[in-house]
A and B are shown apart, each in its own frame.
Chain A
């Protein structure tokens, strides 16, 4: 059973538009929700993350919106740039103390066209 669902699988936007990537989860004990991005040939890297005490987290052009009641969270990339083209993974963390075990979504390939 997939614990974190991600949509769409791929998205193309024009430069300057806002890209929106969505995720949902099942386990209400998840307590930390990061987004990673991965450029071709590189390792996944943490982009931004949120904890359920907040419903919004901003970092520059990147914003996470979090809806605890509906168990959904989304990543908004404002003023998208061609350099944002990458695969984006949402994730959710279970467990504390024993290590940060993350459940990942399948990823979304974002293409920003100039």
Chain B
């Protein structure tokens, strides 16, 4: 089936550094998402993105977070600066339309902040 690719699969960085998580969504999809999952907890919505703009974000999407998809390349989540509580698995997802509910997820990027 359709695949969402995430790079890197795992990254370890020191607190205060910047990190960029990359997502290659399904090729014809128009809506993009980031979810955060702390070990043992549920996935939580961070942000969705459509037509070059953030459509909705949760309170977990702190000011240090930003997303973009320049010129149809990777959909990225940047955290600058990182904090210890940012350690989690970040899942990217995409969907063709905004109301089907069928999200296709990547395998996640595990971020460890030391």
Interface residues of A (CB under 8 A from B): 2, 4, 6, 32, 34, 36, 41-46, 49, 89, 93, 95-107
Contacts and interface: CB of A to CB of B under 8 A. Distances in A.
A33 to B, nearest CB: 9
A3 to B, nearest CB: 10
7 contacts: A34-B101, A96-B99, A98-B48, A99-B33, A100-B98, A102-B35, A102-B101
Given A42-B107, A43-B91, A97 B98 contact: yes
A2 B49 CA distance: 23
Contact of A46 (B48, B56, B99, B102): B102
Contact of B95 (A42, A43, A97, A99): A99
Contacts of A97: 98-99
A101 B108 contact: no
B42 A99 contact: no
A44 B91 contact: yes
Q: Which of B42, B99, B100 has the most CB of A within 10 A?
A: B42
B73 to A, nearest CB: 20
A89 B55 contact: no
Contacts of B106: 43
Q: Which of A45, A100, A106 has the most CB of B within 10 A?
A: A100
A89 B43 contact: yes
A38 to B, nearest CB: 8
B101 to A, nearest CB: 4
Contacts of A42: 107
A17 B91 CA distance: 32
Nearest to B9: A41
B101 A49 contact: yes
B50 interface: yes
B28 interface: no
A100 to B, nearest CB: 5
A104 B91 CA distance: 13
Nearest to A97: B98
A100 B91 contact: no
